[in-house]
């Protein structure tokens, strides 16, 4: 698993087991699992309509520490990505706002065919006017306090499995 942490405009990358900024603790791992499960449930609703790709995909799980008093600003930022991400080559699984429990953590899940696809996507964002405006919105309002990116892959046989009647 790759871990990128964005703090003060700098990116730190390290393996998850390294003692680096953003090393995932048990609580963060559980939160990530909950968000991935929510993303899987959303994707399951679309599974019948679209055949599953035969290529291996990765999912970029973005964990945002946000200012809880600027929840609506973060919501607008997330809604903007709903238009920007697909047109630049990312498969947007969804953005998630805090609902119950922790009030300062939001999530974004974006799927790619490979890390190379993700790198091309990042290059496209640098020239997309709407993406640059959205980055500036976040910087000017300062509602994102910290941003972490982790890249995960699906374990075959464990994704999009519906609940059985009990």
Give me the half-sphere count of Cα atoms (radius 13 Å) on the Cβ side of residue 100: 2
The torsion of the CA quartet 149, 155, 157, 162, rounded to 10 degrees, works out to -20
66 has which bridge partners? 144
For 1-8+55-155, the fitting CATH number among 3.30.70.100, 3.30.830.10, 3.40.50.620, 3.40.50.1220 is: 3.30.70.100
Please give the backbone phi and psi of residue 6, each rounded to the nearest 5 degrees, phi first: -105, 115
pLDDT 10s digit of each residue in the chain, 166 long?
Answer: 344 444 334 444 444 444 444 455 545 554 555 555 555 444 444 443 344 444 558 999 999 999 999 999 999 999 999 999 999 999 999 999 999 999 999 999 999 999 999 999 999 999 999 999 999 999 999 999 999 999 999 898 888 899 999 9
């Amino acid at each position: 698993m790759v871990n990128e942490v964005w703090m003060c405009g700098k990116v730190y990358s390290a393996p998850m087991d390294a003692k680096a900024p953003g090393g995932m603790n048990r609580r963060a791992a559980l939160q990530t699992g909950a968000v991935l499960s929510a993303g899987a449930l959303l994707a399951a609703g679309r599974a019948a309509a679209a055949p599953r790709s035969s290529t291996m995909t990765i999912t970029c799980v973005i964990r945002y520490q946000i200012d809880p008093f600027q929840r609506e600003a973060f919501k607008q930022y997330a809604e903007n990505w709903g238009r920007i991400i697909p047109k630049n080559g990312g498969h947007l699984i969804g953005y998630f706002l805090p609902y119950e429990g922790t009030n300062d953590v939001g999530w974004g899940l974006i799927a790619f065919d490979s890390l190379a696809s993700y790198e091309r996507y990042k290059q496209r964002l640098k020239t997309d006017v709407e993406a640059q405006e959205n980055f500036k919105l976040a910087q000017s309002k300062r509602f994102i306090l910290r941003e972490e990116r982790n890249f995960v892959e699906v374990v075959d046989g464990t994704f999009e499995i519906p609940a059985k009647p009990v």
